[in-house]
């Protein structure tokens, strides 16, 4: 079920109390929220709104590389919505899910992604700034003046860029397992990089399950968690819902946008809003040093280290995350009222 909305406003008709109320391929669509200046193409943004109160403050939840809004398990989204309470706006980034795909926009060949960034050999058809501007345009389309901007991995990069480009719309910033693209930060291992290129051996459920298990290993899951039933179920549910709305052809363009992004260290030192930086201690994709650097650059940041999480959050850490986000919002409100 898809409802096409032109410059809509959030109301009870397109907001649901639970993320589980949304089926994997179901979404609302904000059509033509902007024209991307880098590609001269109109941008449609697929989104969902989860929450109990139409007047509650908003958390904009941005997803990672080649992911869609299903990267956040429905239980996590529901817990986040209840913590504020918040209205949680979940988004498919451009080139993922049901948002606009930029077919025909050329990016550098994948092998160039493995070469040092300093060589400058990678070109991208659009930037992280373009993607952050899509999110800002969605907020305008939904009539939302300000929000807590939250994202993991590439979504954290987008949240940082959003805060830099749209400070007036940023009530608070949450960067989870992400980076500033600053100098002298460690790269993941070659094995981890190659994990991004792995595909299922066939279209069977068994092949997909095998791939998901390997992704969990590559993405730095605490070994003590690998046999926990609830942990396996978490990734199975998330993976199955993601696959139901996935297209993988945007990976190359999004990865090129990440690689060509300039360092943000100095710019982030001027971010005035409260911030929360979350780091998974077992992350082998964006190593913890990147999160430590992010927290050091943001002048009003709190650092939350999750000792049993890798690049993906241990579901046992959900309560800590949502309470930290709720506390961040309370701090932002007290700062603005003071």
Q: What structural domains does the chain harbor?
A: 28-188+249-336 (3.40.50.1820)
**Percentage of the chain lying above the pLDDT 70 cut:** 88
Q: How many CB atoms lie within 10 A of CB 152?
A: 27
Q: What is the pLDDT of residues 269-309, one digit of tens each?
A: 999 999 999 999 989 899 999 999 999 999 999 999 998 88
Enter the pTM of the model: 0.92
Contact 293, 265 (CB under 8 A): yes
Residues 6 or more apart whose CB falls under 8 angstroms from that of 4 comprise 29, 31
**Does the pLDDT value for residue 11 go beyond 70?**
no
Instruction: Say what the alpha-carbon torsion angle 284, 188, 180, 103 is, to the nearest 10 degrees.
Output: -100
Range with the lowest mean pLDDT among 108-122, 168-182, 222-236, 290-304? Answer: 222-236
Write down the pLDDT at residue 1: 37
**Does the pLDDT value for residue 330 go beyond 90?**
yes
Distance from C-alpha of 312 to C-alpha of 61, rounded to nearest angstrom: 15
Give the CB-side neighbour count of residue 2, counting CA atoms within 13 A.
14
**Top mean-pLDDT range of 46-55, 192-201, 216-225, 299-308:** 299-308
Range with the lowest mean pLDDT among 13-27, 203-217, 234-248? Answer: 203-217
Mean pLDDT of 319-334: 96
Structure tokens at 209: 């399950």
pLDDT tier for residue 112 given thresholds of 50, 70 and 90: confident
Show the 3-state SS of 52-96: CCCCCCEEEEECCCCCCHHHCCHHHHHHHHHHCCCEEEEECCCCC
Distance from C-alpha of 322 to C-alpha of 330, rounded to nearest angstrom: 12
Name the more confident of 94 and 71.
Answer: 94
Distance from C-alpha of 257 to C-alpha of 129, rounded to nearest angstrom: 9
């Amino acid at each position: 079920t898809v409802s096409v909305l032109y410059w809509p406003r959030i109301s009870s008709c397109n907001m649901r109390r639970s993320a589980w109320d949304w089926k994997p391929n179901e979404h609302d669509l904000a059509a033509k929220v902007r024209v991307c200046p880098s590609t001269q193409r109109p941008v449609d943004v697929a989104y969902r709104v989860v929450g109990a109160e139409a007047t509650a403050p908003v958390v904009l939840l941005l997803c990672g590389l080649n992911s869609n809004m299903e990267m956040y398990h429905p239980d996590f989204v529901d817990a986040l919505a209840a913590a504020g309470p918040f209205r949680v706006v979940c988004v498919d980034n451009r080139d993922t899910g049901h948002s606009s795909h930029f077919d025909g926009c050329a990016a550098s060949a994948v092998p160039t992604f493995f070469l040092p960034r300093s060589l400058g050999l990678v070109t991208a058809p659009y930037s992280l700034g373009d993607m952050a501007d899509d999110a800002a345009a969605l907020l305008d389309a939904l009539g939302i003046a300000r929000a807590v901007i939250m994202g993991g991995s590439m979504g954290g990069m987008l949240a940082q860029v959003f805060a830099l480009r749209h400070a007036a719309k940023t009530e608070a910033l949450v960067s989870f397992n992400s980076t500033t693209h600053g100098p002298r930060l460690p790269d993941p291992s070659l094995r981890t990089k190659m994990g991004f290129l792995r595909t299922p051996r066939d279209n069977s459920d068994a092949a997909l399950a095998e791939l998901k298990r390997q992704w969990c290993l590559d993405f730095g899951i605490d070994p003590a968690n690998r046999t926990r039933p609830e942990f396996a179920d978490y990734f199975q549910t998330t993976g199955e819902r993601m696959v139901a709305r996935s297209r993988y052809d945007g990976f190359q363009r999004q990865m090129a946008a990440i690689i060509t992004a300039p360092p943000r260290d100095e710019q982030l030192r001027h971010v005035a809003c409260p911030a929360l930086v979350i780091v998974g201690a077992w992350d082998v994709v964006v190593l913890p040093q990147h999160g430590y650097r992010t927290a050091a650059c943001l002048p009003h940041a709190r650092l939350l280290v999750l000792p049993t999480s890798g690049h993906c959050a241990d579901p046992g850490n959900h309560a800590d995350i949502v309470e930290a986000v709720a506390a961040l919002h309370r701090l932002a409100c007290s700062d603005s009222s003071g």
